[in-house]
Amino acid sequence: MQREIGQQFSVRYSFPVLFTRDAFAPENLTLRDVLRSAGAKQHRVLLALDSNVAAATPGLAALLAAYAEAHAETFFWSGTPFIVRGGEICKNDPVEVHALHQLVVEQKIDRQSFILAIGGGAMLDAIGYAAATAHRGVRLIRMPTTVLGQNDAGIGVKNSVNAFGRKNFLGTFAPPFAVVNDAKFLDTLSPRDKRAGIAEAIKIATIKDAPFLTWMHRERKSLAVFAPAAMEEMIVRCAQRHIEHVGSADPFETGSARPLDFGHWSAHCLEEMTSADASGALRHGEAVAIGCALDSLYAFAKGLITQAELSLLFETLEGIGFTLFHEALLKMNIEEALASFREHLGGEMCITLPDGLGRKRELHEIDLPLMHRCIAQLAERSARPPSRDANPTGVERATG
């Protein structure tokens, strides 16, 4: 005899994404108000700080201590930040996850307390995973300090570390309590890191917001020199598009598609292939820029975008300063890279391509010989001097 009791429930998630500058100035009430929204009491906070951020802003711990003292009715912390190795190392060798779990016990951090994570996207991923698995979830406030963190990685619901040679193999879907973007942190970044984060804005604009892409094309010279007004506008508009996706699409990725992963199947592979070379490793955004160029060539070859649209995208990427080819592309096993991406999706193959600018199409099969020709076109193009003719991409629509 079979019995079945059905169960169905829904949970509503809501969290603010806030934009400010100089968040730890005592008169700036952004962080205080985030804590106060959880109740009018003193809240225990465990601070996790990216080592790269700590090195770039040596007085940050003292600033936070002064801020906590100025708002002592709301904010309590031990006074000692937990330093997390910045960059992909904290995901590849995630010893800090266990160390943070220990600190949660030692500092009596419970589910009504907070972990405040200040750092780049990789560090936020690792600490987010630790926060989500301590007590089955400790409240997390993210303070992204990179362009990529503020316009993309830091505002979603995913947390993860790498394992078994795979990016993001261990992870959770756990919304943060709040995200606080402090533009002042961007002043400490290298030009390379500032530029890398812009790739995600180009990615999402290409498949979801043609006017935004047109704006970046027009402002490419300002973005290339990281003009503050252009950078802050780009970050807010990119973040808005990602927030819309989290709120209205498939934030926990229960389906087979990842509609915001345009350019990412090859980017993930390129990151893994170059990661062993400390001096030559591609940043995530640099790999995404190459991946967007490659997939746009493929979309052009398939008749999904026009020559003018392809040219606009290439002009935007290169005008901002991206290099659109890497030797690792020639060594990449396309079939294995696609299979790894399909496994990461957890379902059927689904590659997102632009279908005109501002729209997307999901393909479930890839023409391998055609993709090889697109890689060859990128390689050939990279060896030629810049073109000033009507076809600055230097490629033709593929046939056959």
Give the chain's domains with CATH numbers.
17-188 (3.40.50.1970), 191-382 (1.20.1090.10)
pLDDT of residue 37: 97
- Contact status, residue 336 vs residue 352, Cβ threshold 8 Å: no
Shortest CA distance to 201 belongs to which of 53, 52, 320?
A: 320
Q: Band of the pLDDT at 12, cuts 50, 70, 90?
A: confident
Please tell me the predicted confidence (pLDDT) of residue 390: 45
Contact status, residue 220 vs residue 74, Cβ threshold 8 Å: no
Structure-block tokens of residue 332: 């990449």
For residue range 176-225, what is the model confidence (pLDDT) as tens digits?
999 999 999 999 999 999 999 999 999 999 999 999 999 999 999 999 99
Tokens of 29: 């009430």
pLDDT for the residue numbered 386: 59
pTM exceeding 0.75? yes
Alpha-carbon span 78 to 45, nearest angstrom: 8
CA pair distance 123, 89, nearest whole angstrom: 9
DSSP string, 240-285: HHHHHHHHHS-TT--SS--TT-TTHHHHHHHHHHHTT-TTTPPPHH
Angle, CA 36 vertex, CA 34 and CA 40 arms, to 5°: 170
pLDDT digits (tens, 9 = 90+) for 83-137: 999 988 999 999 999 999 999 999 999 999 999 999 999 999 999 999 999 999 9
Neighbouring C-beta atoms of residue 113, cutoff 10 Å: 20
Which of 46-55, 120-129, 276-285, 354-363 has the lowest average pLDDT? 276-285
